Structure 1
């Protein structure tokens, strides 16, 4: 299996597809979804990547994210990868916040995780190459990235690391400083070991403190999110951006929690915000 179509469905005039391929980065089959809006033959469309959170696959946002109407309106391709390698031979952990479904968008250096948990390389290098080959309407000179929770962490860190590639970066309830919260400390220790300097390359607040810069960020965060105080800590991102001169729009949304009810409520805002910055 090099590349196969799992399913396609017409939606909002475009095509929602699910695809599977053999990944060299992870050494496993990987599944992802792509929504391609209706477009004129030969047209090139900008791309918005969405990185999902803990326990999720591509399917969560594909089924519950409510992005297709906005993507059809603005002519934006929406790509949703998985959150980790999968398969019977892939190392795993019984907890929900480590192992399968919890790849944290890092390239693991510690055994046994280093064998397959290479989600940074998969998202930054391998999957874009596949998109370029299999989806000729995708204009990879116009890319944005967003994500939720662990995927918000992924969007921020990958976006900060690749400012020339991503014109726009946003997040929903991101883990902004994994070095300073239980979810992140567990994942970074397990995947990268005890060297906290190595952690900084996967910590958005630390990356900004260490000199990485983008022009602006958009973050939505529910103020009724059960993980707000212990895990998410948006005030740390606000302080880092203020000190670095990064234009952060941090919207605290009253009454919203951490779920896809929250994400879907503001998804169209994010698609429109990215579309404005991805114009030709």
Structure 2
């Protein structure tokens, strides 16, 4: 196959932006050039990689190719950084869980905007389990890992925060010094929102209790909505305080549990130079 970098860049940009028009704007080329590049890629691989009509979404073949395309482009960017040393410049992909995206990344991105003004940090939001998988597969160049053991070589601790209960502001225990797991189970524990289930399980282990919950959800918005309607309470990291609706409050918990958030590149392959630049700046 004679696949070109232009074809891979066109595929990745179109998938990320959802259309040929937006991909062209991102790449700084004409829409027809993007279309021709994708069509050329499809001829080389022998099948359609993008669905046309509406949002440009990858086909099953495109899904299998996109991770490899990202890895190839990241390697090319790293090679260019080696042969053209100087000011850090380019795009780096960073993964983080929702509470980090909301509570920590804005501060880090302000820092990077000053220290690395020519670096574009693209954020990918996922759950705890997805961070190391994306990092090692080459889907992203760097990630904020939650409680990695051991801490990867070259990584840096970006922050630490504690788990806290989230209840309605009008709840009778809203002014309590701390809430126990038994207190939370009386109202019905909503677990899983924002990828925090591992920490909630760990709190049960520390308390010597079996892990149980009344509801299990994925999205924090769903969890917050259930708490607002009086359908339960939950536990989230204190970095998530900025995400709370006005009618919900955080209360400390017992047992206490702290998270360590580590900014790192991959362990199984060389770091992208811009991932190293992000860590060095922090």
Under a length normalisation based on structure 1, what TM-score does the superposition of the two structures give?
A: 0.29
More helix by share: 2
Asked which structure has the greater CA Rg, the reply is 2
Under a length normalisation based on structure 2, what TM-score does the superposition of the two structures give?
A: 0.29
